[in-house]
């Protein structure tokens, strides 16, 4: 195989992995519990898991997912689509997805279970700060009311980080999951 063929194969592999993760994020949006203007979904679980498995490169599948929804594919929670989602109550969460995947991705560099929890927590904090800001701006709530509106999401967010960390740590047993360095 020539170097050019090898690079083309790697490009195809990256595109396929990007599409698979974006599709998983979309599936996570359809697992939804409506509790108010912003439903509880599994999007954040797949955002963080993508970061854990793909490293900082996870920014791109999350961005592809967001762009798919903006151009009109019904990939957001409850089948929503279009750029209007960015100006609604869940817009802050949606805009945080790519940066959060990037942050979670640092756990994949020389991975250890504790790194999954730390970088998953940092990504989750970023996501919720952006979500609080989005609710504050779109619903015209005070900052305190926006913070209170976010509280019901926190227990599930913690469980999603723990579940993603457990899956990623379990995947370390497989050679394909150790592309960023040894576990030493």
Give the pLDDT confidence score for residue 97 in this predicted structure: 98
Q: pLDDT digit of tens for each residue in the chain (184 aa)?
A: 788 887 788 889 889 999 999 999 999 999 999 998 999 999 999 999 999 999 999 999 999 999 999 999 999 998 999 999 999 999 999 999 999 999 999 999 999 999 999 999 999 999 999 999 999 999 999 999 999 999 999 999 999 999 999 999 998 887 766 565 444 3
Report the distance separating Cα 162 and Cα 165, nearest Å: 5
Neighbours of 33 (CB within 10 A): 11
Give the pLDDT confidence score for residue 10 in this predicted structure: 85
Whole-structure pTM value? 0.91
Residue 40 phi, psi (nearest 5): -85, 130
Helix H segments across 106-142? 113-139
Report the distance separating Cα 140 and Cα 103, nearest Å: 29
Report the distance separating Cα 46 and Cα 13, nearest Å: 19
Residue 84 phi, psi (nearest 5): -60, -25
Give the pLDDT confidence score for residue 11 in this predicted structure: 86
CATH 1.10.1760.20 fits 3-177, yes or no: yes
């Amino acid at each position: 195989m020539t170097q050019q063929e090898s690079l083309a194969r790697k490009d195809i592999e990256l595109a396929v992995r990007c599409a698979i993760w974006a599709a998983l994020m979309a599936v996570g949006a359809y697992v939804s519990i409506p509790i108010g203007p912003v439903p509880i979904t599994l999007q954040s679980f797949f955002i963080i898991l993508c970061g854990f498995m793909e490293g900082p490169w996870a920014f791109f599948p999350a961005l592809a997912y967001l762009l798919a929804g903006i151009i009109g594919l019904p990939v957001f929670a409850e089948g929503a689509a279009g750029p209007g989602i960015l100006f609604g109550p869940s817009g802050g969460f949606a805009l945080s997805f790519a940066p959060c995947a990037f942050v979670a991705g640092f756990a994949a560099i020389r991975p250890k279970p504790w790194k999954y929890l730390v970088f998953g927590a940092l990504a989750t904090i970023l996501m919720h700060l952006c979500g609080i800001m989005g609710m504050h701006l779109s619903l015209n709530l005070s900052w305190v009311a926006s913070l209170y509106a976010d509280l019901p999401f926190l227990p599930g967010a913690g469980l999603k980080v723990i579940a993603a960390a457990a899956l990623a740590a379990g995947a370390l047993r497989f050679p394909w999951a150790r592309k960023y360095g040894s576990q030493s």
